[in-house]
Structure 1
Amino acid sequence: MGLLRSITRTTLIALIATVLTFSDATAQADFPSKPITVLVAAPPGGPSDVTTRIVAQRLATRLGRSVVVENRPGASGFIVMQQLARSAADGHTLALSSLVYHILNPALYKEKLPYDPERDFVPVALLARVPYILVAAPGLPANDVKEFIALAKKNPGKFNYGLPGGSGNTSHILMEMLKKAADIDIVPVPYQGDAPALMAVMSNQVEVAFTTPLGATSLIKAGKLKLLGTATAERLSTFPNTKTFAQQGLPALESSTWFSFIAPAGTPRAVLERLNAEIDQILQLPEVEKQLQDLGSVPAGGSLEATQAFMRAERPRWTRRVEDSGAKIE
Structure 2
Amino acid sequence: MLPALFHTLSRRAGACLFAASAVLLAGVATPAAAAYPERPVTLVVTYPPGGTVDVVARLLAPKLSSVLGQPVVIDNRGGAGGMIGGAYVARAKPDGYTLMLDASNHAQNPALHSRMQFDTLKDFAPVSLLLRVPNALVVTPSYPVKTVADLIKLGQANAGKPVYFASAGNGSAQHLAGELFNLMANTRLEHVAYKGGGPAMVDVMAGQVPVMFASMGSAWQHIKNGKLRAVAVGGAKRSKAAPELPTIAEAGVPGYESYEWNAVFAPAGTPAAIVEQVSRALAQVLKDPVVAEQLAGFGAETVGSTPAELDAFRRAEIAKWKKVAAQAKLSLD
Q: TM-score normalised by the shorter chain: which range applies?
A: 0.7 to 0.9
The 1:66/1:199 distance shift into structure 2, 3 A limit, reads same
List per-residue Cα deviations over 1:136-171 (Å, max 9, x = no partner): 11111110111022123344453221111x111221
List per-residue Cα deviations over 1:12-43 (Å, max 9, x = no partner): x9999889866752431231122111111212
Matches within 5 A, 1:230-241: 230-241=233-244
Query: Which residue of 177, 180, 185 maps to 2:183?
Result: 180
- For the residues of structure 2 that align with 1:16 and 1:124, how far apart are their CA atoms? 32
Residue of structure 2 in register with 1:6 after alignment = none
| Partner secondary structure for residue 251 of structure 1 | coil
Is the 2:42–2:74 contact (alpha carbons within 8 Å) kept by the matching residues of 1?
A: yes
Residue of structure 2 in register with 1:200 after alignment = 203
Query: Which residue of 128, 141, 144 maps to 1:138?
Result: 141
Query: How far is 1:96 from its partner?
Result: 0.8
The 1:195/1:23 distance shift into structure 2, 3 A limit, reads farther
Higher radius of gyration, 1 or 2: 2
- For the residues of structure 2 that align with 1:249 and 1:23, how far apart are their CA atoms? 60
Is the 1:176–1:326 contact (alpha carbons within 8 Å) kept by the matching residues of 2?
A: no
Residue of structure 1 in register with 2:63 after alignment = 58
Is the 1:134–1:208 contact (alpha carbons within 8 Å) kept by the matching residues of 2?
A: yes
With structure 2 as the length reference, what TM-score do the two structures score?
0.87
Matches within 5 A, 1:1-330: 25-101=30-106, 103-110=107-114, 112-156=115-159, 158-164=162-168, 166-329=169-332
Query: How far is 1:135 from its partner?
Result: 0.6
The 1:182/1:30 distance shift into structure 2, 3 A limit, reads same
Whichever residue aligns with residue 318 of structure 1, its letter is: W
Shift >4 Å, 4+ stretches: 13-24
| Partner secondary structure for residue 242 of structure 2 | coil
Is the 2:240–2:296 contact (alpha carbons within 8 Å) kept by the matching residues of 1?
A: no
| Partner secondary structure for residue 118 of structure 1 | coil
- How many residues align? The count is 317
Query: How far is 1:216 from its partner?
Result: 1.5
Give the structure with the larger helix fraction: 1
| Partner secondary structure for residue 232 of structure 2 | strand
Query: How far is 1:188 from its partner?
Result: 1.8
- For the residues of structure 1 that align with 2:19 and 2:328, how far apart are their CA atoms? 52
Whichever residue aligns with residue 234 of structure 1, its letter is: K
The 1:228/1:32 distance shift into structure 2, 3 A limit, reads same
Whichever residue aligns with residue 96 of structure 1, its letter is: L
| Partner secondary structure for residue 121 of structure 2 | helix
Moved more, 173-182 or 315-324: 315-324
Whichever residue aligns with residue 47 of structure 1, its letter is: T
- For the residues of structure 2 that align with 1:20 and 1:80, how far apart are their CA atoms? 37
| Partner secondary structure for residue 132 of structure 1 | strand
Moved more, 19-28 or 149-158: 19-28
Is the 1:59–1:282 contact (alpha carbons within 8 Å) kept by the matching residues of 2?
A: yes
